[in-house]
């Protein structure tokens, strides 16, 4: 994906984008693409002039808490309790609202309920009590046949990548579109676009066993993004990576967030959390013990 000139207006940029690629509904990407321009650090002016009518008018880089109240929530957990049949409580009375465009760290020791929370969001598990509302859908009330549609609004990235070893990078990413019934002619351009976004165009035809850990995780992120999700949930995406590569992955997630995608990242990486000063939600024994913007990994008080 060639960078779009800074001197172009946002509208022109958007049009150029559309003509260069077969259009897939990657509206947030497209709107935010101009923010990628080398010195378009803020990106707000370009966005303001696109007039696409999408939810791109927020500046995700600053004032998260201030803007939170005005923005539409992508994810609401309302007094959620999850008790497993064996009586173990994984989550207790969890309240969480994630507004659109937010970047949230989910921290806590192993067994604190982070994975359970992830499973609730894709309706792999149902809450025992309380509501989980994703992009306006109450997951408990969602008919079974609509579950796949909700999952397409969520991009998931795992610590162990979950790439299919018999498929190339391109095929792994395309797979997400193929199995959801996307017409073939739209798959190619969409895949090329996300591969360019994560910087894997050159590795498109390699197999997972030829990739480094960072490349594998970027492939997984590309696959999570190819559906144009409302929210990306990354479950310890840097857990298997060395610090330098971890930063690369984090930069990528931040960039995706700048493009307008909400990111929820569960992590153990204290250094990263503390350095970035984003919103931090800490879980302990299934309860939210802390929810602060600009917090560190550890309790600051």
Partner 1 sequence: MISFLAFSVRRAWQGFWRNAAMSLAATATMTLMLLLLAGFWIVQAGLLAGLEFVEQKVQVVADLNDGTSQAAVQSLEGHLLAMPEVRDVSYVSKDEALARFRAERVNQGQDDLTQYLNANPLPASLEVSLRNASDYGPVSDLLQSDPNVARVKNIADLANRVVTVTDFLRTGGIVLLGIVGAIVLFIIINAIRLAVLGRAEEIEVMRLVGASDAFIRWPFVFEGALVGLLGAILTVAILAAVADPLSNFMYDFFRILPIRVGSISRDVAMLVFGTGLGLGVLGAWVSVRTYLIR
Q: Give me the residues that bind partner 1 (CB under 8 A), please.
A: 122-124, 144-145, 147-154, 156, 162, 164, 166, 175-176, 178-181, 183, 223, 227
Q: How many helices (H) and strands (E) does the chain have?
A: 11, 10
To partner 1, the closest distance from the beta carbon of 257 in angstroms equals: 20
Residues near 119 by beta carbon (within 8 Å), at least 6 away in sequence:
125
Per the CB < 8 A criterion, the answer to whether 262 and 68 are in contact is: no
62 or 181, CB closer to partner 1? Answer: 181
To partner 1, the closest distance from the beta carbon of 49 in angstroms equals: 33
58 or 156, CB closer to partner 1? Answer: 156
1 or 122, CB closer to partner 1? Answer: 122
Strands 279-284 and 103-107: parallel
b/e for 187-220, b at 16 or more Cβ within 10 A? beebbbbbbebbebeebbeebbeebeebbbbbbb
69 or 179, CB closer to partner 1? Answer: 179
Element containing residue 33 per DSSP (H, E): helix 27-33
User: Rounded to whole angstroms, how far apart are CA atoms 253 and 247?
Assistant: 10
Q: Can you tell me whether residue 130 is helix, strand or coil?
A: strand
DSSP-assigned letter for residue 34: G
User: Rounded to whole angstroms, how far apart are CA atoms 130 and 267?
Assistant: 25
Full DSSP string of 233-254: EEESTTTTS-HHHHHHHHHHHH
- Show the tokens assigned to 89: 């409580």
To partner 1, the closest distance from the beta carbon of 169 in angstroms equals: 14
User: Rounded to whole angstroms, how far apart are CA atoms 255 and 275?
Assistant: 16
To partner 1, the closest distance from the beta carbon of 152 in angstroms equals: 4
To partner 1, the closest distance from the beta carbon of 218 in angstroms equals: 16
91 or 177, CB closer to partner 1? Answer: 177
To partner 1, the closest distance from the beta carbon of 22 in angstroms equals: 17
To partner 1, the closest distance from the beta carbon of 31 in angstroms equals: 23
Full DSSP string of 35-96: GGSTT-SS-HHHHHHH---SSTTS-TTS-HHHHHTTSPEEEEEEEEEEE-TTS-EEEEEEEE
To partner 1, the closest distance from the beta carbon of 224 in angstroms equals: 8
């Amino acid at each position: 994906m060639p960078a779009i000139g800074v001197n172009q207006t946002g509208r022109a940029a958007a049009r150029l984008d559309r003509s260069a690629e077969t259009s897939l509904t990657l509206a947030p990407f497209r709107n935010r693409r101009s923010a990628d321009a080398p010195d378009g650090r803020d990106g707000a002016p370009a966005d303001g002039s696109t007039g696409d009518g999408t939810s791109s008018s927020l500046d995700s880089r600053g004032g998260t808490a201030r803007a939170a109240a005005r923005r539409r929530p992508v994810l609401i957990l309302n007094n959620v309790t999850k008790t497993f049949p064996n009586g173990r409580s994984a989550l207790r009375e969890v309240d969480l609202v994630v507004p659109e465009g937010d970047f949230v760290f989910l921290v806590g020791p192993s067994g604190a309920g982070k994975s359970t929370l992830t499973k609730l969001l894709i309706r792999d598990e149902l809450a025992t009590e309380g509501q989980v509302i994703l992009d306006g859908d109450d997951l408990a009330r969602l008919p079974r046949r609509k579950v796949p549609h909700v999952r397409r609004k969520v991009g998931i990235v795992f610590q162990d990548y979950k790439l299919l070893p018999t498929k190339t990078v391109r095929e792994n990413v395309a797979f997400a579109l193929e199995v959801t019934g996307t017409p073939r002619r739209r798959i190619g351009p969409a895949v090329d676009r996300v591969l360019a976004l994560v910087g894997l165009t050159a590795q498109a035809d390699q197999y997972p066993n030829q990739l480094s850990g960072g490349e594998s995780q970027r492939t997984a992120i590309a696959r999570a993004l190819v559906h144009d999700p409302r929210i990306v949930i990354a479950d310890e995406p840097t857990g298997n990576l060395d610090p330098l590569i971890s930063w690369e992955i984090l930069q990528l997630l931040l960039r995706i967030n700048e493009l307008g995608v909400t990111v929820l990242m569960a992590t153990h990486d204290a250094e990263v959390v503390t350095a970035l000063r984003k919103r931090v939600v800490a879980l302990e024994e299934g309860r939210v013990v802390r929810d602060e913007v600009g917090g560190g990994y550890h309790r600051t008080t």
